[in-house]
Amino acid sequence: MTLRIYNDLHRRKEEFEPLEPGRVRMYVCGMTVYDYCHLGHARVVVVFDVVYRYLKARGHEVTYVRNITDIDDKIIQRANEQGIPFHELTKKFIDAMHEDFDALGVERPTLEPRATGHLEEIIRMIQALIDKGHAYQAENGDVYYDVRSFPGYGRLSGKSIDDLEAGARVEPGEGKRDPLDFALWKAAKPGEPAWDSPWGKGRPGWHIECSAMSTSALGDTFDIHGGGADLTFPHHENEIAQSEGATGHPFVRYWMHNGFVRVKEEKMSKSLGNFFTIREILEHYRPEEVRYFILTSHYRSPLNYDEEHLVNARKALDRLYTALRGLPRAEPGEADQYVEAFNAAMDDDFNTPEALAVLFELVREINRVRPENEKKAARMGAELKRLGGILGILQEEPEAWLKGTPSGSEGLTDEQIEALIQQRLEARKAKNWAEADRIRDELKAQGIVLEDSPQGTTWRRE
RNA sequence: GGCCUGGUGGCAGAGUGGUCAUGCAGCGGCCUGCAAAGCCGUGUACCUCGGUUCGACUCCGGGCCAGGCCUCCA
């Protein structure tokens, strides 16, 4: 069985073979930390978290690097607006980002480099580009990449320099030789944070940060580079030009881009203002519901945000957890055909919707087997939980999940519920069905669902 | 304008040249004091017009529609 990944560089699925067998080097473009993360950011980190987990589950040793852009125009602007030093602003949002991602159950990457911690590498790379004739310093002090000096420019995004040229414009005072040239180093303006360099005080451009951080952490050539589809051009195109221009080696073997989160058929983005932050959503929905929702569509497809879908995610997770509820502890087993189907789905370019479908098929089998053979069901349940772990779901205690509330909601306490159930039990013993049903209806009105079984009555929150 | 995706049942969302997705919702049955949960069963789904084929939702071409990139954006 081989893993196939859709490689954006060639626009087709390709068999995945890491440069070094058993070892995968992966880089994902992380956040620019000037605001809270929204659902679009959540999608990137959840998607690549699953890629990371699955590669590990497949037995690879994975070095996963996800950077933090902690210096750029927007950060400076926002810090100035608030009258605080830029690093104070970035610290606040880096902390918030970690809170949000931790809440979503996203594993921390192996390394999380920050641009401001890699000025040396950045400067060295820019110098190499100048030395090799790929970059030049303009009269305004900025250093630009000479796009026409790199023959492969446009290969990833499928654009030709000449087509791009048509719509491009040079802003006054930029001093570019060609409108498509982009800044590697921006000369310091008054009041801006600045670092010393051979070209005077200034700061790095956005694109060069990722080239420098990725190659310094993973080497000139590495296996997977990921990010949102909006980064394909120009960011990733520029990264290729920079890294290959500077090192002379191929940069990335497999390029992966996830699709956008949409709101009413439009891309969710800061500029459109139609975004929902992770923390807003987590006020009303549980992290696992958000995560499940993200995984219900394939990572390259668009994902339409709608609260109804989050509600649906909870119902689906309820079914999964219900199958696990009350099963004795056991070692995973008895479910080979489901494990195979799950792996086949994941091997096919990380097809999480199909992998989830397999989980539901396994659930049906567990529910079927359970009455006759609880031990077998328990082993299958353990397997279900293990597979869920690869997707980052189903790791809660089933009982806790089913009795849990979305944060923020209020109602009866567990003790009050148990007391009412006890009362109802008395009524049922006396065959006072009217009273028993009254209590059940009362609880139902509060969002509590009762389930009677020969073993007793259980309850859950809707 | 250039380039790139995609249009699947009530909703969401996979997938395949000729039997099944899956979840939610619906309907019938079993189970239950009645329910719930669970199990079993159930739905003339594949934008449109042509073409290829014994056969296409699946391949090819046109059209229509939606979204994206071409400027900071995950």
What is the DSSP code string of A64-89? EEEEEE--SHHHHHHHHHHTS-HHHH
Output b/e per residue, A378-400; b: 16+ Cβ within 10 A: bbbbbbbbbbbebbbbbebebee
pLDDT value, residue A171:
64
Residue A160's pLDDT band, with cuts at 50, 70 and 90, is confident
Check pLDDT > 70 for residue A4.
yes
Q: What is the CA radius of gyration of chain A?
A: 26
In whole angstroms, what is the distance from residue A47 CA to residue A26 CA?
13
* Range A72-96 average pLDDT: 96
In whole angstroms, what is the distance from residue A273 CA to residue A395 CA?
34
Q: Is the CB of A301 under 7 A from strand B?
A: yes
Task: Give φ, ψ of A223 to 5 degrees.
Answer: -85, -60
* Range A108-113 average pLDDT: 98
Question: Where is pLDDT greater, at A82 or A160?
Answer: A82
From residues 76-115 of A, list those within 7 angstroms of strand B by Cβ. Answer: none
From residues 4-33 of A, list those within 7 angstroms of strand B by Cβ. Answer: 11, 29-32
Which is it for strands A61-69 and A252-258: parallel, antiparallel or unpaired? unpaired
Pair A268, A39: CB distance under 8 Å: yes
Residue A409's pLDDT band, with cuts at 50, 70 and 90, is low
Percent with pLDDT over 90 in chain A: 90
Task: Scan for tokens 């100035």, then name that residue.
Answer: A80
pLDDT value, residue A332:
98
Topology of domain A4-137+146-157+204-262, CATH? Rossmann fold (3.40.50)
From residues 131-190 of A, list those within 7 angstroms of strand B by Cβ. Answer: 157-160, 163-164, 166-168, 182
The gap between A299 CA and B61 C1' (Å) is 30
Q: How far apart are the first and last CA of chain A?
A: 41
AA identity, residue A364: R
In whole angstroms, what is the distance from residue A237 CA to residue A242 CA?
9
pLDDT value, residue A407:
52
Task: Give φ, ψ of A145 to 5 degrees.
Answer: -85, 130
Pair A65, A111: CB distance under 8 Å: yes
AA identity, residue A6: Y
pLDDT value, residue A165:
77
pLDDT, tens digit (0-9, with 9 covering 90-100), for A112-155: 999 999 999 999 999 999 999 999 999 999 999 999 999 999 99
Check pLDDT > 90 for residue A412.
no
| Dihedral over Cα of A201, A206, A212, A217: its sign | positive
Topology of domain A305-403, CATH? Four Helix Bundle (Hemerythrin (Met), subunit A) (1.20.120)
pLDDT value, residue A141:
93
Check pLDDT > 60 for residue A248.
yes
In whole angstroms, what is the distance from residue A26 CA to residue A227 CA?
11
Task: Please confirm whether the linkage preceding A302 is cis (ω < 30° from 0).
Answer: no
Residue A342's pLDDT band, with cuts at 50, 70 and 90, is very high
Output b/e per residue, A212-223; b: 16+ Cβ within 10 A: bbbbbbbeebbb
List, in order, residues 6 or more apart from A181 with CB less than 8 Å away: A144, A145, A146, A147
Task: Scan for tokens 């400067």, then name that residue.
Answer: A123
AA identity, residue A7: N
The gap between A5 CA and B10 C1' (Å) is 34
pLDDT value, residue A170:
60
Q: Which two tokens stand for residue A398?
A: 């089933």
Q: In A88-157, which ranges are E strands?
A: 135-137, 143-145
Nearest to A203 by CA among A282, A122, A301: A122
Paired residues of A241 in beta bridges: none
Measure the CA dihedral A331/A391/A36/A267, to 10°: -160
pLDDT, tens digit (0-9, with 9 covering 90-100), for A381-408: 999 999 999 999 999 999 999 998 755 4
Question: Where is pLDDT greater, at A342 or A170?
Answer: A342
pLDDT value, residue A191:
87
pLDDT value, residue A175:
82
The gap between A255 CA and B4 C1' (Å) is 16
Q: Which two tokens stand for residue A3?
A: 């893993």
Q: pTM of the entire structure?
A: 0.96
The gap between A121 CA and B22 C1' (Å) is 48
Residue A209's pLDDT band, with cuts at 50, 70 and 90, is very high
Q: Mean pLDDT for chain A?
A: 95
